Amino acid sequence: MVRRKRVGVSPRSAQNAGEQILSKNRDNLLNFLEHCYSIYNRVEYVKTDPIFFPTIQEGEREYIAFVSALFAYGKVSLINNFLQRFFDHYGIKPNTLKNYDPNVYYRFQSHDDVYKIYYFLMDVYERYGSIERCFLSFSDNLE
């Protein structure tokens, strides 16, 4: 049997090259994100983002922000219309059991799905007092 000599890059130098590429890509991504942040981190853009709701709704901000984030996909006008219907029906605090409304649905979530999310969050607030405390209850190591 004839042994063939391996030709090419050693595993160590390949790893170093890979790390250099990852580092460069990470730097490029960071620069791109910082650039986008500098352009869009302005008050005039807030209404084009579902995060708009926690800034205008009086109520449990954590709850409002969490619900807004859960449904923050799709066309902005549709998201905002849904969130308005959601908060009009289920309220701005998850403290009162409400019947589901067949008109409160969003894209892939039926009115039943939306109701279950509301009911789950109501249970989280009843048991833990906040979403944050719920997450923290799972581990002493979370910061």
Q: Between residues 57 and 137, which one has the greater pLDDT?
A: 137
Separation of alpha carbons 90 and 30, rounded Å:
39
| Residue 109, beta-bridge partner list | 106
Q: Between residues 25 and 122, which one has the greater pLDDT?
A: 122
Q: Is the pLDDT of residue 143 over 60?
A: no
The answer to whether 68 and 51 are in contact (CB under 8 A) is: yes
Neighbours of 59 (CB within 10 A): 15
The answer to whether 73 and 82 are in contact (CB under 8 A) is: no
Specify the pTM: 0.66
Per DSSP, helices labelled H in 41-110 are 52-56, 61-70, 76-90
